[in-house]
């Protein structure tokens, strides 16, 4: 059995295959707790977690909070609006002040790539990256992997098409790392303006969705991240949907038992048609459920569970 030795969870890139497998195996046990009538265990009683969300979130923040409650950790959540960041306090000063209250873990979401690594180098707390700019979103990739193992029984050998705004996507970056480490065959598909060449050594690159999803076991759709776009990357939303939107007709090119993932939030009618989002192939809400179990596993392992 692999022993957990990481102090922080900053990304998928620094993790070994054994460490990823340990998180996913631990999450299986955590998922069982979620199915009990009383969803509460004393595992992290007396431990304190601060959820510091400097960028908008629904799923990640709520599921960290849910995970902390199920494991009996004490937790509090801070958002940019309503905190002293709105008065000009820096991220580092904010974290140093929170750290003075002796939390065990700080979960951080920030719009700047590298924010979690920056804090990990300068603070004494354990840091969990809940998404840093366009860099990494490790717990999202872990919950996606958990969902694929649950649905397909494996990750190795799966043909996975990741379609959408790859350029601005931390979800894509973490998933490319995780899926290729675990032996999946990854194709990235986007318009040329949103498909960086940096991934060509790890994945097949395609500008055509019909080609990318041909024979796929898994299609993972990504949102256009307009909040990170500094210039015009697409012509119009209508044109983007026509060329890259996932419809049931298009999905017929994939394997008959294809599953569809989306990290959320979805823009229905843009990257994904409602008929796909709400279809039997869609595992989008399973991803959300499994996100709680994966975040429980991460907190448990970071706080010493893997060394018991």
- Minimal CA–CA distance to 171: which of 266, 81, 105? 266
Which residue lies nearer to ligand CP by CB, 140 or 177? Answer: 140
CB 11 to ligand CP: min, Å: 14
**Eight-class DSSP state of 136:** B
| Residue 226 neighbours by CB under 8 Å, 6+ apart | none
Which residue lies nearer to ligand CP by CB, 67 or 205? Answer: 67
Question: Which listed range, 114-122, 172-180, 192-200, 258-266, lies at the site for ligand CP (CB under 6 A)?
Answer: 258-266
- Tokens for 154, please give them: 């494996």
Which residue lies nearer to ligand CP by CB, 19 or 144? Answer: 144
- Report the Cα–Cα distance between both ends of the chain, in Å, rounded: 12
226 binds ligand CP (CB under 6 A): no
Q: Pick the binder of ligand CP from 5, 16, 29, 58 (CB under 6 A).
A: 58
Which residue lies nearer to ligand CP by CB, 131 or 305? Answer: 131
Using the structure block, give the residue that is written with the tokens 């010493």: 304
Strand runs labelled E in the chain: 48-53, 74-79, 105-110, 126-132, 159-163, 185-189, 204-206, 218-221, 259-261
| Residue 74 neighbours by CB under 8 Å, 6+ apart | 46, 47, 48, 49, 68
CB 3 to ligand CP: min, Å: 29
14 binds ligand CP (CB under 6 A): no
264 binds ligand CP (CB under 6 A): yes
Which residue lies nearer to ligand CP by CB, 109 or 149? Answer: 109
263 binds ligand CP (CB under 6 A): yes
CB 265 to ligand CP: min, Å: 6
131 binds ligand CP (CB under 6 A): yes
Q: Pick the binder of ligand CP from 14, 59, 83, 250 (CB under 6 A).
A: 59
Residue 49 DSSP SS3 = strand
User: Quick check: bond before 265 cis, omega within 30?
Assistant: yes
Per DSSP, the residues of 72-110 read T-EEEEEESTTSGGGGT--HHHHHHHHHTT--SEEEEEE
Q: Pick the binder of ligand CP from 8, 10, 15, 57 (CB under 6 A).
A: 57
- Minimal CA–CA distance to 208: which of 189, 223, 194? 189
Q: Are 79 and 25 in contact (CB under 8 A)?
A: no
Residue span 137-156 as binding mask against ligand CP, x where in contact by CB under 6 A, dash where not? ---x----------------
Which residue lies nearer to ligand CP by CB, 193 or 267? Answer: 267
Q: Pick the binder of ligand CP from 157, 183, 215, 265 (CB under 6 A).
A: 265
Q: Are 19 and 282 in contact (CB under 8 A)?
A: no
Which residue lies nearer to ligand CP by CB, 131 or 138? Answer: 131
Residue numbers at the binding site for ligand CP (CB under 6 A): 57-60, 131, 140, 263-265
């Amino acid at each position: 059995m692999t022993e957990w030795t990481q102090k922080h969870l900053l990304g998928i890139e620094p993790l070994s295959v054994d460490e990823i497998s340990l998180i996913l195996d631990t999450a299986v046990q955590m998922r069982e707790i979620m199915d009990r009538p009383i969803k509460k265990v004393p595992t992290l009683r007396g431990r304190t977690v601060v959820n510091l969300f400097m960028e908008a979130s629904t799923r990640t923040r709520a599921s960290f909070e849910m995970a902390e409650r199920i494991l009996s950790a004490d937790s509090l959540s801070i958002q940019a609006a309503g905190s002293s960041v709105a008065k000009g306090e820096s991220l580092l000063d904010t974290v140093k002040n929170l750290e003075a209250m002796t939390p065990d873990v700080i979960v951080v979401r920030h719009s700047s790539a590298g924010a979690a690594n920056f804090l990990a180098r300068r603070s004494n707390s354990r840091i969990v990256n809940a998404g840093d700019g366009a860099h990494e979103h490790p717990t999202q990739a872990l919950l996606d992997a958990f969902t694929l193992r649950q649905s397909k029984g494996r990750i190795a050998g799966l043909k996975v098409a990741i379609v959408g705004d790859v350029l601005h996507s931390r979800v894509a970056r973490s998933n490319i790392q995780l899926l290729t480490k675990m032996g999946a065959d990854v194709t990235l598909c986007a318009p040329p303006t949103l498909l960086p060449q940096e991934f060509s050594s790890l994945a097949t690159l395609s500008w055509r969705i019909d080609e990318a999803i041909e024979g796929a076991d898994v299609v993972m759709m990504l949102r256009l991240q307009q909040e990170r776009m500094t210039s015009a990357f697409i012509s119009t939303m209508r044109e983007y949907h026509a060329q890259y939107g996932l419809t049931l007709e298009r999905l017929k090119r994939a394997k008959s038992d294809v599953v569809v993932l989306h990290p959320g939030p979805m823009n229905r009618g843009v990257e994904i048609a409602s008929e796909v989002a709400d279809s039997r192939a869609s595992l989008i809400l399973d991803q959300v459920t499994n996100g709680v179990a994966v975040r429980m596993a991460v907190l448990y392992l970071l706080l010493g569970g893997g060394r018991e």
